[in-house]
Amino acid sequence: MKINKNIEAIIVTLLYLTCLYFWTLPIQKNHMPYGEVDAASHYAVADYTYKSDRSITTLPYYIDKRYGEDNKFKSHTLWYPPPFHTSLAIAAVFGGESGFSIYLANAIFCSLIVLSVYFIIRRFFGFEAALISSFLLIFSMRDIMVYLWGQWPERMGFAYLPLIIYCFYKYCSSYLAKDEKPIYLYIMSLLLAINFFIHPMDFFHSVGALIITALFFLVKEKRFFFSIKHVSASIFLFLLIVSIFPFQSMNVVARLQSEGGATESIGDISRLFYWFKKPEHNPGVPESYFSYKAMIGPYWTIPLLLLGVLFLLLRRNRKDLVILAWLISLYIMVHLDFIGKGRVHRSLSGTAHIFYPLMVLGLVYLVSLIPELRYKRYIKYGLMAVFVVFMFMAVGVEASKSLKEAYGGILRINPYQYELTQWIEKSKTIPQNTEMYHAGEISLAKTRWLWMISHRFMLDSGRYDLGGNVSYVIVDYSDFALIGDQNTINNLQEWEKQNLANSSLIYDKTYIRVYEFEN
Amino acid sequence: MNLKIKFDDKITMEIILILIGLFSFIFWGFTGFKIIFGILLVFFLPSYLILDNFNISRSEKIIFSFFIGIGVFSSIAYWLGVFISFKLAIAITFVFLVLVGVLIKKFKH
């Protein structure tokens, strides 16, 4: 389809705004923070930066108590390079608050894959393929799940891969055409360095895709397709940029040396014949996370996916090879457990980014097989429309429901707890470097959220007994009251009487009390 | 189907900005509006002014600007924010990067 570039720009804007509409559903009506413990950690760094009006160098006490050793190179410093969290904090400055602002900015960052996939597929295969691929990505369940749980930088980092391989392709093509454009290589270095800052695992995905692309080009062209001078300059540029955050960059190196991967699949040949085999020991995700049908689409899409691969294999022009290299590098990343490396179930979350475009290419290829008929063009658009509608019914409806109902009810901070966190945060009575105890929590994540929003270190009663260095105790009936669990309320009241009779009550609001603890 | 409607670049940009503005306001309120335009202002605009000096296509400039802007702007703002107020660091970073873009343009011409 030939399309005016201005019309296209408006369509892409509408597409991405639609994406943002869906991805912000969890915060449109309820502005309370949500997510698992990882979300709380990312929120905490951005929130503290915004509220202290200073960048973090040494971790504040309450963050340090949990993440102080997560930087394996230099303890008590940020464990991630700062750009991601600083960007969230910048959004908070514009929003004038750190709750909703962080979540809105995060929705933008985490959904950038929709734009980068649109871009590469548009440049390689045209408007329709790009539009459908990126539309489907809006509803990619695995991306949505990980986004909702809180592995935010990992989500964003994946969006850099298509742009990085695109730049590499552009440079190599210009070199082979004897019209060298090293600017693409330098932009690639910059993107690669930022990719490294956003999330190291995604950086390794990008590097893998680059290596496979380079090998494919070498086989196809049977000669070198780059200038040593340009490559050296781009490597220097990359190293220069990553050196601006030495503690965090070296943390990646230190972690690579110290961390092993899953061991259960080492040498398991059968594993290589599956895209992903559900691990025996669940890494803490629902069963559906490993299901093609639930995460990608109905099984009838598999033939389209394979057709897409076949189409690229048969044609094998440079653009096709780039996409195939992306697919193969992802295959390698999700099978690293075969050699006992990697966090493969996390790598798996990059699947839809390449599977959806391949499916669409399969469809386009299928349509191209239709003999020349008078109404071929209408058949083509009709088939594409049917495909989009069926896919939306199969995955889109469920995905938008998941976003709309995400962390409803007591699964996220309730208003009583939020009021408490605001009181604690501003409290001059409760010192910054104190230890609090949260009794009545419904989950580890709940305590973690109270801890991070209050800016005070908290122990949860699920894993710790009262005692030790605890100075303040929160007795939290709010969640149990909201779900009407009277038995647990009675037990907690009994516990409160037994343990806090000698302590002074300093906060007594609806469903929640705080005591200054006397052991 | 051949979508070839005459559209001026400036009109297109205005339509896009209006769309973004309306959408932000309707779904995320005034706070959302400020965040969206703030993000566009600091992460997109300075990098675009810099990339605009190089011989790459406009769509490439647009997409690379945002992805690079997030990393570059926040890195500079982070380091400045270690020594001065974070809010001031954002303002200085913005002025600095816009100046870089303008100076490259001047130097190249």
Query: What CA–CA distances, in Å, run from A112 to A115, A139, A188, A200, A416?
Result: 5, 13, 17, 17, 34
User: At residue B1, does pLDDT exceed 80?
Assistant: no
Chain-chain contact of B1 with A190 (C-beta, under 8 angstroms): no
pLDDT of residue A519: 72
In a domain, B48, yes or no: yes
A485 exposure class (CB count in 10 Å sphere: 0-12, 13-18, 19+): middle
Give this prediction's pTM.
0.95
Tens-place pLDDT, residues A354-400 = 999 999 999 999 988 888 777 888 888 999 999 999 999 999 999 99
User: At residue A134, does pLDDT exceed 50?
Assistant: yes
In a domain, B92, yes or no: yes
Chain-chain contact of A10 with B4 (C-beta, under 8 angstroms): no
Interchain CB contact of B32 with A (< 8 Å): yes
User: At residue B2, does pLDDT exceed 70?
Assistant: no
Interchain CB contact of B108 with A (< 8 Å): no
Q: Categorize the per-residue pLDDT at A177 as very low, low, confident or very high, splitting at 50, 70 and 90.
A: very high
Chain A residue with Cα closest to B23: A17
User: At residue B75, does pLDDT exceed 60?
Assistant: yes
Cβ atoms A123, A343 nearer than 8 A: no
Determine the structural domain holding residue B72 and report its residue range. 39-108
- What is the amino acid identity at position A92? A
In a domain, B6, yes or no: no
Q: Which two tokens stand for residue A481?
A: 């009251």
Domain count, chain B: 1
Q: Which chain A residues touch B73 with a CB distance below 8 Å?
A: 87, 90
Chain-chain contact of A83 with B5 (C-beta, under 8 angstroms): no
In a domain, B99, yes or no: yes
In a domain, B23, yes or no: no
- Span of A256-260, A335-339, A364-368, A453-457 with lowest mean pLDDT: A256-260
In a domain, B30, yes or no: no
Nearest to B73 by CA among B86, B88, B90: B90
Please state the rounded mean pLDDT for residues A420-429. 95
Q: What is the ipTM of this complex?
A: 0.94
DSSP state of A394: I
Cα(A269)–Cα(A58) distance, integer angstroms = 46
In a domain, B28, yes or no: no
In a domain, B71, yes or no: yes
Tens-place pLDDT, residues A11-45 = 999 999 999 999 999 999 999 999 999 999 999 99
pLDDT of residue B80: 98
pLDDT of residue A257: 84
Supply the mean pLDDT for chain A.
94
Nearest to B63 by CA among B48, B80, B74, B41: B48
Residue A376 Cα, gap to closest chain B Cα (Å) = 12
